[in-house]
């Protein structure tokens, strides 16, 4: 599986793939693409820093960052070494390890929104800073595997990037599985 390429195209290809970590398996249902320094919504807009260094490659590695002092966010790096781009994993469905996910998410039942949101995805997988830079193609640890592709894809603007330029705010770089209920703000999305 090749994860190197334009972030928006890799983002669409990630839909339906599975993330595994221990006994937990999640099927990806929603993603957002982020380009390099030219993308004002991207962490790469400030050039390479200690925090965003994993975003600069190689492709197929994890880039995690801590958001709002509360949530880890998982990104899949897509650019070739030296070129920053990544895809934020925004939502997922539980395939295996439900009891562990419920415990980590501190809830008692499965709902469509259990892993709808990037912080929820990382929490369900039990991720923290130690996973940043991890090769997602290496068996064991945090791993990305083929899954069930969506039958349709929805697209729309990314969420929560008010600081970006108007053109980058409107960019249709958020993608979701049209058949999944584990998607946030579905009304803002349109069929691709």
Q: Where are the domains of the chain?
A: 7-191
Average model confidence (pLDDT) across the chain: 94
pTM given for the model: 0.96
Instruction: Identify which of 191, 37, 155, 64 has the alpha carbon closest to the alpha carbon of residue 118.
Output: 64
The 10s digit of each residue's pLDDT in 51-62 is 888 999 899 999
Per-residue pLDDT band for 49 (boundaries 50, 70, 90) equals confident
Average confidence (pLDDT) over 114-139: 96
pLDDT value for 94: 98
Question: CA separation (Å) from 114 to 47, 92, 182?
Answer: 34, 8, 8
How far is residue 183's CA from residue 116's CA, in Å, rounded to a whole number?
6
Instruction: Identify which of 169, 176, 141, 5 has the alpha carbon closest to the alpha carbon of residue 64.
Output: 141
Was domain 7-191 assigned CATH 3.10.300.10?
yes
Question: Alpha-carbon Rg of the chain, whole angstroms?
Answer: 15
Q: Is the pLDDT of residue 68 over 80?
A: no
């Amino acid at each position: 599986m090749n994860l190197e390429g334009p972030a928006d195209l890799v983002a669409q290809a990630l839909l339906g793939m599975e993330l595994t970590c221990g006994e937990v398996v999640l099927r990806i249902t929603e993603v957002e693409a982020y380009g390099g320094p030219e993308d004002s919504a991207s962490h790469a807009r400030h050039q390479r820093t200690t925090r965003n260094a994993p975003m600069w490659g190689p492709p197929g590695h994890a880039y995690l960052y801590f958001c709002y002092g509360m949530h880890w966010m998982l990104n899949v790096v897509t650019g070739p070494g030296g070129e920053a781009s990544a895809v934020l994993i925004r939502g997922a469905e539980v395939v295996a390890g439900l009891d562990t996910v419920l415990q980590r998410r501190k809830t008692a039942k499965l709902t469509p929104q259990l892993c709808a949101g990037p912080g929820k995805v990382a929490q369900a997988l039990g991720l923290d800073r130690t996973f940043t830079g991890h090769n997602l193609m290496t068996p064991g640890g945090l791993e990305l595997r083929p899954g069930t592709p969506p039958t349709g894809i929805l697209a729309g603007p990314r969420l929560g990037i008010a600081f970006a330029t108007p053109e980058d705010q409107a960019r249709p770089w958020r993608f979701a599985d049209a058949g999944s209920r584990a998607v946030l703000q579905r009304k803002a999305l349109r069929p691709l």
